[in-house]
Amino acid sequence: MNLRSSFRPVVLLIAGLLLGGCGNYNAWHQKLIVTVETPDGVKTGSSVVLVGLHDTTGNEWMTLPQARGARYELTGEAVVLELAPGRYLFTLLKGLPYATNVFFPDEPPVETAPALADMRASRELSPKQYPLLVTFADINDPASVTRVDPDDLAAIFGPGYALSSITLEITDEPVTKGRVEAVLGWLGDIKGRIKPTDKKYADELDVEETLYSIDFVRGS
């Protein structure tokens, strides 16, 4: 019998327990609904993501330092909305608010997360809760990504375009898949930043230069 081989599964199991801990895990589906006024009428887009909150508080003795405390896990994709032929608005995962903070803003997320699994409710977000909005001057050119001011869509898309609302909803709908990559066919080939830069320091970066593919699609 090869003792080294027999010990390997045990070592991997212990390592997994130390890294992930044995805390509480709660998950829910949340839907983001984006509504925009256009010269051709109101247009709406949405996406559903899976959010999990893993809390290892109280299990620090068997959890590695980098895995201690509470952390969110996210699977899903950005909202993609075609406002005009070939002109898209993306509401990114970057800055996406979690339902724990939206519905229970004054309470600890680890205490309110269990209630979300069976909750069915919606709430319109305030502007300070909006995720990052972007578009592409050329949908085939990743480097043409441009931030969109939620208060001034007309500056990018032209007269008659205005953000009406962004709503967060707790739902049992399935996680949205494939919509972003159907528009951004190059996304899976991106290694590193969406918009390359030679800037050396983080405080020099424009917001467009901080974006990665995981801001558009995350998980599987």
pLDDT tens-place string over residues 46-71: 999 999 999 987 555 455 444 556 89
* Nearest residue to 55 via CA among 108, 8, 110, 122: 110
Residue 55 domain boundaries:
21-218
The number of distinct structural domains making up the chain is: 1
Q: Is residue 16 part of a domain?
A: no
Q: What is the pLDDT of residues 153-197, one digit of tens each?
A: 999 999 999 999 999 999 999 999 999 999 999 999 999 999 999
Task: Locate the DSSP E strands across 56-141.
Answer: 70-77, 79-84, 87-91, 122-124, 133-136
Q: Could you tell me the CA-to-CA distances from 149 to 35, 108, 219 in Å, in that order?
A: 15, 31, 27
Q: Is residue 12 part of a domain?
A: no
Q: Is residue 15 part of a domain?
A: no
Q: What is the pLDDT of residues 197-211, one digit of tens each?
A: 998 888 999 999 999
Distance CA 133, CA 54 (A): 28
Q: Is residue 167 part of a domain?
A: yes
Q: Is residue 14 part of a domain?
A: no
Q: Is residue 153 part of a domain?
A: yes
pLDDT of residue 1: 52
* Nearest residue to 50 via CA among 25, 77, 76, 72: 76
Q: Is residue 60 part of a domain?
A: yes
Q: Is residue 165 part of a domain?
A: yes
Angle (CA) 89 90 92, round 5°: 155
